[in-house]
Amino acid sequence: MHLFRYSALTYNSHLIHYNDPWTREVEGQPGLLVHGPLTSMLLLDLALRRSPGRTPATYSMRALAPVHLGTPVRLTGRPEPDGARLWVLDADGGALVSAEVRFA
């Protein structure tokens, strides 16, 4: 349901985010894909929760592999003096998304 709502909120009508049969049969994916911008927002939220009161000056992210709905992932990060490095990792510890935030 969250993927459908996020699709509506962002005017993203691509079926890979909310029509599982179409995603599997037409796109050949193992399941629904999580939006890159949604994943990015979750990583930025992680950084902000761990650095209360700080304001982001820059933020960048890179999708390295698809994030499929129902696949266990872990959002994690490493603080740095002026920001943080962030990742979405799969169950084996492989990076699916990497990001970096720098604080003002």
Span 33-87, pLDDT tens digits: 999 999 999 999 999 999 999 999 999 999 999 999 999 999 999 999 999 999 9
Task: For residue 90, give both structure tokens.
Answer: 């799969």
Q: Does residue 1 have a pLDDT over 80?
A: no
pTM of whole model > 0.85?
yes
- Residue 31, number of CB atoms within 10 A of its CB: 14
3-class SS at 37? helix
Closest-CA residue to 97 (of 5, 34, 4, 29):
34
CB neighbour list of residue 98: distance below 8 Å, 6 or more residues apart: 61, 62, 64, 85, 86, 87
Place of tokens 């349901």: 1
Confidence at residue 7, expressed as pLDDT on a 0 to 100 scale: 84
Confidence at residue 52, expressed as pLDDT on a 0 to 100 scale: 92
Type of residue numbered 82: D
Distances (CA, A) of 16 to 12, 20, 72: 10, 7, 18
